[in-house]
Amino acid sequence: MVALAEPILLREHSGMSEIPTNARAAERLGWALTRFNRKLDNVCDKLDRAGIKGLRGGPGSHAMNRRSRLVEYAIAARLVTRTDLALLDSPMEG
């Protein structure tokens, strides 16, 4: 979530159009795209089960909308904050 929210966390007034693609976020983390997509799917599924709407694919639902909704929710609910940006420059495990 931090990799997707990074542009918005760095700039207080940036818009959702600055959310990186999955490929860019995966590259930022040093992960393969398939790994990133799997993790994104898991996070979205968990939040969907918790009642957060707009994170599950379906007819008329696009990946960009899901990423936007995830970032919007993560920032509003303070699941990610500016202090979490330091995690992006830390060595990743697992």
Asked if residue 16 has pLDDT above 70, the reply is no
User: What's the total number of domains in the chain?
Assistant: 1
Structural domain contains residue 57 = yes
pTM (predicted TM-score): 0.81
- Express each pLDDT in 35-44 by its tens digit: 999 999 999 9
| Domain enclosing residue 19, as ranges | 2-89
Residue 65, pLDDT score: 83
- Nearest Cα neighbor of 53 from 68, 69, 39 is 69
Asked whether residue 94 is assigned to any structural domain, the reply reads no
